[in-house]
Amino acid sequence: DAVRRVFSREACPGEDDATLEDRRLKWAALLRRFQKYGNFSFGNRVTAYEGGDICYTAMLAAIRSARVRVWCESYIFDHSAIGEIFYRALLDATRR
């Protein structure tokens, strides 16, 4: 149900039905694979982003506002400018 809401006509107005269904199936399969790592908890928010640059601002804001822990699921950041920004944000988070 959550995947259907994220990949809906309202949330993705430019997508056709077949593309939306493909995206739903992809993300539902991914979420099922995560189940082996533990139980679900309540009160969390999840936003699915596809693509790198589009999500960096949101990811950095989430890291900066984290109070207890940071779970970051992403590709490896290499020795790049954006990698350094994430490194510094995560390092700052460990000091709070």
Comparing C-alpha atoms, which of 4, 33, 42 is closest to residue 21? 4
Dist CA 82 CA 87 (whole Å): 9
Give pLDDT tens digits for 56-91. Answer: 888 899 899 988 887 777 666 678 888 889 889 999
Instruction: For residues 31 and 45, give the distance between their C-alpha atoms in angstroms, rounded to a whole number.
Output: 14
pLDDT digits (tens, 9 = 90+) for 8-59: 888 888 889 999 999 999 988 888 887 777 766 667 667 777 777 778 888 8
Conformational region of residue 43, where left means phi above 0, alpha means psi within -120 to 50, and beta covers everything else: left
- The amino acid that residue 80 corresponds to is S
pLDDT at 92 over 70: yes
Whether this model's pTM surpasses 0.85: no
> How far apart, in Å, are the Cα atoms of 37 and each of 21, 32, 33, 34, 81?
26, 10, 8, 6, 31
| Residue 36, pLDDT score | 78
